[in-house]
């Protein structure tokens, strides 16, 4: 496990898990995966990376 994961896991997971999973998991996953990922991945990562840079600094 990377260090990042250790930091990320409790906080982020605690916030995102219930809502995110509840909405996306079953049917949505199949439908949204391609589009959702394509649209959100860059933004999501950008925000996450920014967040971690802030945390580390």
Provide the pLDDT for residue 43: 72
What is the spatial distance between Cα 21 and Cα 16, in angstroms, rounded to a whole number? 8
pLDDT at 36 over 80: no
Provide the pLDDT for residue 29: 59
Q: What is the mean pLDDT of residues 51-55?
A: 80
Q: Write down the pTM of the prediction.
A: 0.26
b/e per residue, 5-20, with b = 16+ CB within 10 A? eeeeeeeeeeeeeeee
Q: Write 45-54 long-range contacts (CB < 8 A, 24+).
A: 52/4, 52/7, 52/8
Tell me the pLDDT band of 54, cut-offs 50, 70 and 90.
Answer: confident
pLDDT at 53 over 80: yes
**8-27 pLDDT, tens digit each:** 666 666 666 666 666 656 66
């Amino acid at each position: 496990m990377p260090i990042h994961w250790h930091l990320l896991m409790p906080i982020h997971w605690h916030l995102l898990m219930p809502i995110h999973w509840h909405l996306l998991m079953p049917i949505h996953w199949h439908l949204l995966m391609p589009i959702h990922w394509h649209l959100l991945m860059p933004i999501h990562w950008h925000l996450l990376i920014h967040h971690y840079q802030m945390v580390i600094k």
